[in-house]
Amino acid sequence: AQSVTQLDSHVSVSEGTPVLLRCNYSSSYSPSLFWYVQHPNKGLQLLLKYTSAATLVKGINGFEAEFKKSETSFHLTKPSAHMSDAAEYFCVVSPQKITGGTSYGKLTFGQGTILTVHP
Amino acid sequence: NAGVMQNPRHLVRRRGQEARLRCSPMKGHSHVYWYRQLPEEGLKFMVYLQKENIIDESGMPKERFSAEFPKEGPSILRIQQVVRGDSAAYFCASSPPLQETQYFGPGTRLLVL
């Protein structure tokens, strides 16, 4: 079984300062990991994903995340926050591929981190 | 290529009524997933379907909830005899075969009065 822990329920930064959203995972296999963003009353948008290639993953809107197996972490960062980054962010782990199947099944979500950006 | 479509976007029901939520996956996607987001919580998996098959329904409540993905038409999540605790945002996601990335729709926000 797999699980995801987002270490901060709320993060507040000033515009132009760095963003760090922390995520730790637990898995009995080498997982695929994702970050999704949800703006208020909107659906979820994929920011980036890690699938066992490069450990530093670049996503959209200047976000990136680093997979660290030794720390079981997948923290999301951005060098300079923008007001439009204010949203809720979810760290997500994908299950192992279903044996004999053609897909991977359910995603497991962290509890979410609400990012507030102050002018 | 249109994204995942869900309708209605907002749905109000009185206790005891039925709610039907529809999801049209992206073109070429034959896998559909339903998730529920309760207030102040993350998304929780409900059910995973392929065309005419339920693959995993381990997250579905045992009573009143059902889902289908027919050969033709959208996937339907049906909630019978709704209660106030069913009030939530219900998200649908889709993926093509052999790909693990799921693409989400805008959600249906259900309010039970």
Instruction: Note the pLDDT of residue B26.
Output: 94
Q: What is the pLDDT of residues B23-64, one digit of tens each?
A: 999 998 999 999 999 887 789 999 999 988 999 999 999 999
Nearest by CB to A44, from B41, B58, B104: name it: B104
A103–B44: do the CB atoms touch at under 8 Å?
no
Q: Among residues of chain A, what percentage have pLDDT more than 70?
A: 92
Q: What is the pLDDT of residues A5-37, one digit of tens each?
A: 999 999 999 999 999 999 999 887 778 899 999
**Chain A residues lying within 8 Å of B45, measured CB to CB:** 106-108
B55–A43: do the CB atoms touch at under 8 Å?
no
B58–A111: do the CB atoms touch at under 8 Å?
no
**Chain A residues lying within 8 Å of B56, measured CB to CB:** 105-106
Q: Tell me the two tokens of residue A95.
A: 């299950």
From the list A19, A23, A38, A108, the residue with the least C-alpha distance to A71 is A23
* Secondary structure of B28-90 in HEC code, one letter for each residue: CCCEEEEEEECCCCCEEEEEEEECCEEEECCCCCCCCEEEECCCCCCEEEEECCCCHHHCEEE
* Res. A74: pLDDT tops 70: yes
CA distance to partner chain A, nearest, from residue B100 (Å): 6
Q: What is the pLDDT of residues B56-101, one digit of tens each?
A: 999 999 999 999 999 999 999 999 999 999 999 999 999 988 778 8
Question: If you write DSSP's letter for every residue of A73-100 in order, what string do you get?
Answer: EEEEEESS--GGG-EEEEEEEEPPPPTT
Are A109 and A53 in contact by the 8 Å Cβ rule? The answer is: no
Q: Which residue has the higher pLDDT, A40 or B98?
A: A40
